[in-house]
Structure 1
Amino acid sequence: MDIDDDISSSVGTVDVGFIESCSSGHETVNNALNEETESVNETASTSLPTFLQEWSIKHSITHNSLDDLLKGLKRNGHPELPSRARTLLKTPRTVTSAQKSGMECVHFNLRESLSDQLKRYPTEMIERCFPVTLTLGTTKPKDLEFAEEAINDIQELLDNGLDGKNIRIRCFVCDAPARAMVKKIKQYSGYFGCDKCTQKGTWVSGRVTYPVVDNLTQRTNKAFRAEMAIRQENQTAPVSPFFRLPLDMIQQFPIDYMHQACLGVMKKLITEWVRGDRKVRLSAGQINEVTQRLLSLRSAIPNCFVRKPRNLEDIDRWKATELRQFAVYTGKIVLKGILSDHLYDHFMAFSVALSLLLCPTLAREHNRYSKELMQYFIAKTKELYGDHFLVYNIHSMVHLSEEAMAFGSLDACSAFPFENYLGKLKRLVRSGKQPLVQLAKRLTEMSTSPLSVVASRSKTKRPNNAFILVEGKCCEAIEERNESDDSGTPLLMCRCFERFEPLFRDPLDSRTLGCLKVQTRHSVMKLIPERKLTRMAIMIEKGQELIFLAVLHEH
């Protein structure tokens, strides 16, 4: 959901700002948050109750522990403090929940939540996740009744705006099963299971496959709404409550690359290499060699990656971030010379196409080529892995270029920020007793707490000190200097590499992606303004050679 005049929120959506030359947005967001909250926290540091409130939330201190601390402090010269944690944290005594769709539900008013987010966070911070409706159940919801309040809140905001600002819906991010449930359409396993095109699937080896890769007839919002109107008039099947909203029911429900490309395609490929058919399976020795190469990269992975590489045989437990890391960054290095040439070239087509679509600049400039690469990847998949491999996940790759063009990049319409936020929510639950109520209380406590300062990481410590500069050169930040340029930006002493080669040339010159290879002897020391060190990179040492891989993703 977007708000006009460049104020935005993320309620079932993702919003990503312009990033020049694919530079990483992490530093921009962190700096904005630091500047906005610094004055708040300077004031808060003089108030012991405020400090305790922020400290207890930051470190997930239990109420029992905080009660003991408060009582001890009151006995030792701090009578102004409350005796109970729930008083200090303004914890609500009761939380109202309801039974809907076969689940327990707690709803937070969207207008109030959105207004609170806009007041608490700087407008430059364009990534905000917050809950609207929380549900708890042992199975999936049996219908969409649980979403009715949220839909009503959205409609009210669309009609009336917020604080004089107009509201518009950006997109709804779901995995394939949830998207089908939300739109009340066939699941992806059906013969017409793709909600982006009208291709009829083919039954192969007990599953529906999609062999056609070009000249596809795209679905349209007009046709979808006409079909739903007939269904509604004849009462032949239920219609989604989202149908009431002014949505493009095709374009505004994008394919989520986290589920389809990472957890879907990349995991399926690795599984085939580890335990698939003999013609594509790696030997035990080759699997061990790939694993050793992955583990050797752990020290080179910067902190913008939440996980380090791990054992290839643990593929069943890999998370989506690990699969993306392999698909976009490490896979092209660790598979080289081990995976057979024809399988490696096939993987590279997928890797390069996905990499192009993650960067806003590249997704726009190379959109057509990324689509051609994905079409080649799908067509070649049939030849290498068999007809049965062309399931919906593989087929959906042909539509990713359109999603990147519509929203700016694949990260602009992915589930990664929401999945990350879901992990934070899970960590707020401290016991198995009434977890939904616990969660609602913790969220209320957090909403009344001052903002915490996000500590900025040093740009001169490995592995967080490698960067790709705007002009395409690469550097390693070595030392902070007590100097500034004419604009007042601090200067850093950097080891710059001005002579570089592409890491690979097929299917694309890798310099386009910021994948560079340099010799350590070809370096010069330069003072570079800190503002230019925004596009982080992975720097891998190989003897007298260094490999730089630009970080392309945003979340």
Structure 2
Amino acid sequence: MKTYFDKHILQFCEIFVKYLLGHFNCSLHEAGHDDLHRDIRSIVKTPKKTIITPCSPGEYYHRGLQNALVNILKSRKLPSKIVIDINIDGLPISKSSKRTLWSIQGLIVGELTPFVIGVYHGFKKPSSIEDHLRPFINEYKNLRSEGFNFRENSYKVKLRCVICDSPARSFCSNTKQFNGYFGCSKCVVEGSWRKKVVFLEANLTLRTNESFRNRSQPEHHLGYSPFEELEIDMIFLQSN
């Protein structure tokens, strides 16, 4: 463990190096080397501050869809229309802790390596789908309509589908869980209790994107989902 003296020596060395590099850089600029960065933070690549926002009952970090795509574009080319899939899922951090992570990940269609868009951390899953998804939804809507530029090239983004397991699908659509009386995501069957909720009927009316958005069976819904702002089929969570 570092002593009080060690910590102050390290702090002094850090300040001294930054001071020395900063003044040396200014001298080089005066000598005509205008191609060098003026700010010492650009030279030492000081990381930008990570912005963590409250997301009850935990906190959320939004890395950003555009930031993730730009990071890919730095190493290779992408088509002007970038089609992506999104995965939203939760997982416990460890068996001994109730801490959980809920991530929003993206994948360019046809590729194998996903990338992180945002991460939630807390002792329970996010209580508000609005708080959890709003940063992504707003950013995606802008990238879909306006796009972004990188190295004199223009890009637009299109969402193909949202990939989730059953609990995450209910969370994303803000509907009853699969084991609820009105939890079936595909038809309007009402469950019956047989020591657990079971669905005994068959050949019932199938849910559609239109019936979902019109709340034809209000018992199925817990509230509004931000995904309803996008041009996707809310039953299959895929682009129309």
For Structure 1 versus Structure 2, the TM-score category normalised by the shorter chain is 0.5 to 0.7
For structure 1, the 5+ residue unaligned runs are 1-86, 255-405, 407-555
User: Is 1:135 matched with 2:120?
Assistant: yes
- Check conservation: 1:107, 1:149, Cα contact below 8 A: yes
Q: Distance in 1 between matches of 2:231 and 2:166?
A: 22
Deviations 1:23-53 (A, max 9, x none): xxxxxxxxxxxxxxxxxxxxxxxxxxxxxxx
The amino acid across from 2:199 in the alignment is: Y
CA shift for structure 1 position 93: 6.0
Which of 178, 188, 197 aligns to 2:187? It is 197
The structure that is helix-richer by fraction is: 1
Among the aligned pairs, what percent are the same residue?
32
* 1:152 lines up with 2:107 in the alignment: no
CA-CA distance at 1:172 after TM superposition: 1.2
> Deviation at 1:122?
5.7
2:234 to 249, 252, 255: 249
Other-structure match for 1:219: 207
Query: Are 1:120 and 2:75 an aligned pair?
Result: yes
In the aligned structure 2, how far is the partner of 1:166 from the partner of 1:94? 27
Cα offset for 1:168? Answer: 2.1
TM-score (norm 1): 0.26
Q: Distance in 1 between matches of 2:235 and 2:211?
A: 10
Q: Answer yes or no: is 1:210 the counterpart of 2:199.
A: yes
CA drift of 1:151 comes to 0.8
Q: 1:195 Cα deviation (Å)?
A: 0.8
Q: Tell me, yes or no, if the aligned pair for 1:174 and 1:253 is still in contact at 8 Å.
A: no
The structure that is strand-richer by fraction is 2
Match of 1:98 in 2: 53
Q: TM-score when scaled to structure 2? A: 0.57
Task: Quickly say closer, same or farther: Cα 1:210–1:90, change in 2 above 3 A.
Answer: farther
Residue 253 of structure 1 and its aligned partner are, at CA, apart by 5.9
Q: How does 1:136-535 map to 2 (within 5 A)?
A: 136-144=121-129, 145-163=131-149, 164-204=154-194, 206-212=195-201, 215-227=203-215, 238-252=223-237
Question: 1:241 offset after TM fit, Å?
Answer: 1.8
Distance 1:170 1:140, change over 3 A: same
Alpha carbons 2:175, 2:223 under 8 Å: kept? no
Q: Which amino acid aligns with 1:110?
A: L
SS of the aligned residue for 1:186 comes to: coil
Q: How many residues align?
A: 163
Task: Indicate if the aligned counterparts of 2:189 and 2:199 stay in contact, CA closer than 8 A.
Answer: yes
Shift in alpha-carbon separation, 1:237–1:90, aligned structure 2, 3 A = same
Q: Relative contact order, CA 8 A, sep 6+: which one is greater?
A: 1
Q: 2:193, 2:44 → 1: CA distance?
A: 58
Among 65, 75, 78, the alignment partner of 1:110 is: 65
Q: Does the aligned pair in 1 maintain the 2:160–2:238 contact within 8 Å?
A: no
How far did residue 167 of structure 1 move?
2.7
User: What residue identity is the alignment partner of 1:155?
Assistant: K
- Distance of 1:128 and 1:89 partners within structure 2: 29
Alpha-carbon distance between aligned partners in 1 of 2:237 and 2:44, rounded to the nearest angstrom: 39
| CA distance 1:195–1:97, change in 2 (3 Å) | same
Distance 1:239 1:248 in 2: 15
Contact 2:190 2:199 in 1 (8 A): yes
Q: What secondary structure does 1:131 align onto? A: strand
Aligned-partner Cα distance in 1 for 2:65–2:148 = 11
Q: State how far apart, in whole Å, the 2-side matches of 1:89 and 1:192 are.
A: 57
Q: Take 2:187 and 2:75, find their aligned partners in 1: how far apart are those partners?
A: 42
CA contact (8 A) 2:176 2:222 kept: no
Conserved 8 A contact 2:175-2:222? no
3-state SS of 2:232 partner: coil
* Structure 1 residue 166, shift from structure 2 partner: 4.0
Give yes or no for contact 2:180–2:197 (8 Å, CA) kept in 1.
yes
DSSP 3-state at the match of 2:69? helix
Distance in 1, matches of 2:227 and 2:65, equals 16
Q: Match of 2:102?
A: none
Aligned partners of 1:174, 1:90: CA distance in 2, in Å? Answer: 37
State the 1:185 CA deviation: 1.1
When residues 132 and 189 of structure 1 are mapped into structure 2, their CA distance, relative to the original with a 3 A threshold, is same
Alpha-carbon distance in 2 for matches of 1:132, 1:169:
13
Unaligned segments of structure 2, at least 5 residues: 1-41, 79-108
Across the aligned residues of Structure 1 and Structure 2, the Cα RMSD in angstroms comes to 3.3
Counterpart-to-counterpart distance in 1, 2:199 and 2:77: 45
Q: CA deviation at 1:193?
A: 0.9
